[in-house]
Chain A
Amino acid sequence: MKIQAIGKYVPENVLTNQDLEKIMDTSNDWIVSRTGIKKRHITTDDTTSSLAVKAAQNILNNSQIKATEIDFIIVATMTPDSHSPSVAAIVQSEIGANSVMAFDVSAACSGFVYALSIAEKMLQAESVEYGLVIGAETMSQTIDWSDRSTAVLFGDGAGGVIVKSSIESSLLAEDIHADGKKGNALVSGKIVNDAKTGNDKWRRSPLTMDGRDIYNFVVKEVPNSIRTVTKKANLELKDIDYFLLHQANERLIKQVSKKLALDSTKFPSNIAEYGNTSAASIPLLLAELVENQTIQLESGQKLLLSGFGGGLTWGSLVITI
């Protein structure tokens, strides 16, 4: 596998912390000091699939290939428009790809890392040359806007890559896990039977999160996973040019860098602009770092991608770019 092109799309509509101060009991200082988030992009009329389609078009524009050359499409999302059709099937139709394999991956904030790992395996098949891998979310559809502890954290967006088969894979190592026993620490879109309370018998629950459980999980598992995958790649932490962590919380990312005794400048962040965009956060960050030339395709730079979140799921990949 080799990353051929990168792209993204975010909704234009921006919701700042000051905007949130007007609709809930919160403050800019509180949000910035605890999360690093200053604003988030929230869709007005886009859906997860339309964000994914616009990101796909941007990725195709940044590549030398046509939609009809793509051999499979994977979309990582925890906020699909519908369970059927999948977001990936909608993307396939909208970008004019052929009737190739298309499916969604549900691994919450680890979704992009999961999807890229799956893509690498699929590219090992002889007849497969190009894959489109996207992380896309409208977290605004699953937020409880009356819950100030979670509503301030999330945003919408999409990003992704076109990957190409190659004899030498740029995926050097992976370390991917799930722990379903801890699943209740982060729940979103759970089917709830409301027969007693209303006419709508079935509804889906908004996102709920146990902050301390998630915090503990991240600061314990993510540094371990980063060390493990680096070792599997026969590298040392100092050999990695950049660590692209899921953008959940700036303080959390700083804590991970501290646990690894690494300079926080090795952990680029764009959470101030977008908030937590779940499966979209890593490809959004990657796309921006390529746009501003911090990361350059074909440069041989070594990147470590690490996602973590609902499931609970977590996973890290070491890639050369």
Chain B
Amino acid sequence: MTTFEKIQEIIVDQLDKETEEVQLKTNFREELEADSLDLFQIINDIEDEFDIKIEFDEGLNTVQDIVNTVNTQLEAK
């Protein structure tokens, strides 16, 4: 499973969406209607899944933003 696929799975589960709705370009707030509590939980689940720590103020707007942040953190490990 790629980083994107794992993150996609977490978002689909947390926001109760279809897999096709969650793509790299997808914007959390505008397209998935996620609010701050949803994002807290998605980031929590991603932190647990990858055993990393993500700062919330990193300008996370799209799925791609999160994938990039996770990949950067994984490379630094």
Contact = CB atoms under 8 A, between A and B. Distances in A.
Interface of A: 33-34, 211-212, 215-216, 219-220, 249, 251-252, 255
B37 A34 contact: yes
* Those 3 A-B pairs whose CB atoms lie nearest each other, nearest first: A215-B40, A251-B37, A212-B40
Given A211-B40, A220-B44, A251-B37, 18 more contacts: A33-B35, A34-B35, A34-B36, A34-B37, A211-B36, A212-B40, A212-B56, A215-B37, A215-B40, A215-B41, A215-B44, A216-B40, A216-B44, A219-B41, A219-B44, A249-B37, A252-B37, A255-B41
Contacts of B41: 215, 219, 255
Interface string B16-40: 0000000000000000000111001
Contacts of A216: 40, 44
Contacts of A251: 37
Nearest to A255: B41
Interface in B36-61: 36-37, 40-41, 44, 56
Nearest to A214: B40
A34 B38 CA distance: 9
Nearest to B35: A34
20 contacts: A33-B35, A34-B35, A34-B36, A34-B37, A211-B36, A211-B40, A212-B40, A212-B56, A215-B37, A215-B41, A215-B44, A216-B40, A216-B44, A219-B41, A219-B44, A220-B44, A249-B37, A251-B37, A252-B37, A255-B41
Contacts of B36: 34, 211
Contacts of A33: 35
A308 to B, nearest CB: 15
Q: Is the interface of B mostly helix, strand, loop or mixed?
A: helix
Contacts of B44: 215-216, 219-220
Contacts of B35: 33-34
Contacts of B40: 211-212, 215-216
B28 to A, nearest CB: 15
Contacts of B37: 34, 215, 249, 251-252
A212 B40 CA distance: 7
A216 B40 CA distance: 8
Contacts of A219: 41, 44
Contacts of B56: 212
A212 B55 CA distance: 10
A91 to B, nearest CB: 37
A225 to B, nearest CB: 17
Contacts of A252: 37
B54 to A, nearest CB: 11
B73 to A, nearest CB: 17
B10 to A, nearest CB: 13
B37 to A, nearest CB: 5
Most B C-beta atoms less than 10 A away, residue of A212, A215, A252, A255: A212
A120 to B, nearest CB: 34
A212 B56 CA distance: 9
A251 B41 CA distance: 11
Nearest to B57: A212
A220 B43 CA distance: 13
Nearest to B13: A258
A255 B42 CA distance: 11
A255 B56 CA distance: 19
